[in-house]
């Protein structure tokens, strides 16, 4: 890789042409695909897809576990001039049916068991469903091949549906350029190379998960997809494949730090990346203890603009709670409530400008208009920007810090309270492994602070000690009126803590 990323976007399917060395592109359970194999499979799959659905821009949905089909479809659909819509395999029938209807899918490819769960009315009119075995049987006997596309980089390549934790799922429209430049950017700042092996544990329907594939392939490295049942499965796979790159979200990192890691799993690790929630000081410390020689990359992102910031690993120990600075191709502005660039340490909204900004929400102009608005006049890029709704501060040193979501702030007795500040304080006690702070309607206070927690596995008397520990660290108006103890906290299909489900459980 060069010292600076190439800013010229290409059609997404050209990623299949990147690998030039001898490293395998895809390491499956029972097979391994070289980059030559990958190019061949993408060319044949794309030709077959085009023969089945010749209408350019038609949506092709997939609903299957990680494997050759789900890994190749993003490139094959792009080459065929079609739009890939990956459905998280953890979703149920009703959620899948909503996505299929919303995007108007013309074809659904998936595992037989998932397809059988659908009723006759779940498929949109004209949509054909094919199970994975039948797809490969047809592709293996298909005679045609399709060369690299000449698609306009601004053409639509994929629709990624959010998990729906804050309402009905929204389909984020991503262009070839969005996904190509995302792969280039991440491969560059992670300093990935052709001898890297990425363990793909995150869902491929998740933008962070899909980039596991794309950034690794851009660098010419290998991807080993894994659908794990237990955290120990991740450790075993790291040892088996000599994994150098592991991406996860905080709930998984917490689980991974609570189990033993073998030397064979730890030694090859070069980098760990985190997004989907902030790392805590204690979690950074635990990861450092397990992986003393690996670089740790805290990151912040949102599906509407893929990825916005990362923190240089050399700054993690000194600034463990920072979001860092803008990734290549991203311009990150902090806009105060007056609409101006916020001063140092002044709270404002994070606004993401530049070519990573998505094209809006599929078939949803109303919600598109709320989140996608013209960039501030001070923007270098101009055009449309993503107004994230996230409240952040930029320090004197230029590093960004997350404050909270505007719509998640707790307003209690006239005070505006950041849930994350309470959650961070709870986790910093060492008594809890996970925490979610929420506001519950209260006649006297407006909202009362409630804290839902899971105890650390080695904590002594956490229920008795936590209230006292919080009283030492937080002002009275931020102290929880009630603490709810749980054996486990629910996560959404992308592996993040499901704040909506937790809120419903406690009546927030």
Per-residue model confidence (pLDDT) at position 166: 42
Asked if 1-227 and 229-240+250-407 have one fold, the answer is yes
CA–CA separation, 431 and 461 (whole Å): 8
CB 311 within 8 A of CB 322: yes
The CATH number assigned to the domain with range 409-506 reads 3.30.300.30
Tell me: the pLDDT tens digits for 50-86? Answer: 999 999 999 999 999 999 999 999 999 999 999 999 9
CATH of 229-240+250-407, one of 2.60.40.420, 3.40.50.1700, 3.40.50.12780, 3.40.50.300: 3.40.50.12780
Region of residue 6 (phi > 0: left; psi between -120 and 50: alpha; otherwise: beta): beta
* Cα dihedral 154/304/158/226 (nearest 10): 140
For the packed helices 419-428 and 462-473, what is the interaxial angle rounded to 10 degrees? 120
CA–CA separation, 394 and 343 (whole Å): 8
CB 169 within 8 A of CB 160: no
Tell me: the pLDDT tens digits for 404-426? Answer: 776 677 878 767 687 888 998 89
Query: Residues 6 or more apart from 376 whose CB is under 8 A from it?
Result: 333, 335, 339, 341, 351, 353, 385
User: Encoding tokens for residue 17?
Assistant: 């042409």
Question: What one-character DSSP code corresponds to residue 44?
Answer: H
Per-residue model confidence (pLDDT) at position 493: 84
CB 223 within 8 A of CB 209: no
CA–CA separation, 309 and 388 (whole Å): 13
pTM here is 0.85
The domain locations on the chain are 1-227, 229-240+250-407, 409-506
Query: Residues 6 or more apart from 326 whose CB is under 8 A from it?
Result: 308, 309, 332
What are the C-alpha distances in Å from 281 to residues 253, 288, 359, 432?
13, 11, 36, 13
Strand-pairing partners, residue 253, are none
Q: 1-227 belongs to which CATH class?
A: alpha beta
Region of residue 414 (phi > 0: left; psi between -120 and 50: alpha; otherwise: beta): left
Low-confidence ranges of the chain (pLDDT < 70): 1-4, 163-168, 406-407, 414, 416
């Amino acid at each position: 890789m060069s010292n600076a990323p190439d800013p010229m976007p290409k059609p997404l399917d050209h990623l299949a042409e990147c690998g030039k060395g001898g490293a395998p592109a895809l390491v499956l359970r029972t097979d391994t695909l070289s980059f030559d194999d990958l190019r061949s499979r993408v060319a044949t799959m794309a030709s077959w897809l085009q023969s089945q659905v010749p209408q350019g821009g038609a949506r092709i949905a997939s609903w299957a576990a990680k494997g050759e089909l789900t890994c190749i479809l993003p490139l094959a659909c792009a080459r065929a001039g079609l739009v890939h819509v990956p459905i998280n395999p953890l979703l149920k029938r009703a959620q899948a049916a909503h996505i299929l209807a919303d995007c108007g899918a013309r074809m659904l490819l998936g595992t037989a068991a998932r397809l059988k769960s659908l009723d006759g009315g779940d498929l949109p009119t004209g949509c054909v469903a094919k199970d994975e075995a039948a797809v490969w049987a047809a592709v293996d006997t298909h005679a045609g091949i399709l060369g690299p596309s000449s698609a306009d980089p601004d053409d639509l390549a994929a629709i990624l549906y959010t998990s729906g934790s804050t309402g009905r799922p929204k389909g984020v429209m991503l262009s070839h350029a969005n996904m190509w430049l995302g792969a280039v950017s991440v491969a560059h700042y992670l300093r990935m190379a052709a001898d890297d092996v990425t363990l793909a544990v995150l869902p491929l329907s998740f933008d962070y998960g899909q980039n596991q594939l794309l950034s690794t392939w851009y660098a010419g490295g290998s991807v080993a997809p894994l659908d794990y049942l237990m955290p120990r499965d991740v450790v075993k796979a790291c040892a088996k494949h000599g994994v150098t790159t592991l991406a996860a979200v905080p709930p998984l990192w917490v689980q991974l730090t609570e189990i033993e890691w073998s030397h064979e799993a730890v030694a090859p690790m070069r980098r760990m990346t985190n997004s989907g929630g902030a790392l805590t000081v204690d979690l950074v410390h635990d990861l450092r203890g397990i992986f003393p020689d690996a670089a740790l990359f805290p990151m912040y992102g949102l599906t509407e603009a893929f990825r916005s910031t990362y923190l240089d690993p050399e700054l993690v120990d000194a600034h463990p709670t920072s979001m860092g600075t803008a990734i290549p191709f991203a311009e990150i502005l902090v806009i105060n409530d007056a609409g101006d660039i916020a001063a140092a340490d002044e709270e404002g909204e994070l606004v993401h400008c530049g070519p990573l900004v998505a094209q809006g929400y599929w078939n949803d102009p109303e919600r598109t208009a709320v989140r996608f608005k013209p960039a501030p006049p001070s923007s270098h890029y101009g055009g449309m920007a993503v107004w994230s709704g996230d409240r952040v501060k930029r320090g004197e040193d230029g590093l960004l810090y997350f404050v909270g979501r505007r719509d998640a702030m707790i307003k209690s007795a006239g005070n505006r309270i950041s849930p994350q500040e309470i959650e961070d304080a709870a986790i910093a006690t060492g008594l809890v492994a996970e925490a979610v702070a929420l506001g519950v309607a209260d006649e006297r206070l407006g909202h009362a602070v409630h804290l839902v927690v899971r105890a650390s596995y080695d904590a002594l008397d956490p229920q008795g000690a936590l209230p006292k520990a919080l009283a030492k660290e937080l002002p009275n108006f931020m102290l929880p009126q009630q603490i709810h103890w749980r054996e486990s906290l629910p996560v959404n299909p992308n592996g993040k803590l499901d704040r909506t489900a937790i809120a419903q459980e406690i009546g927030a």
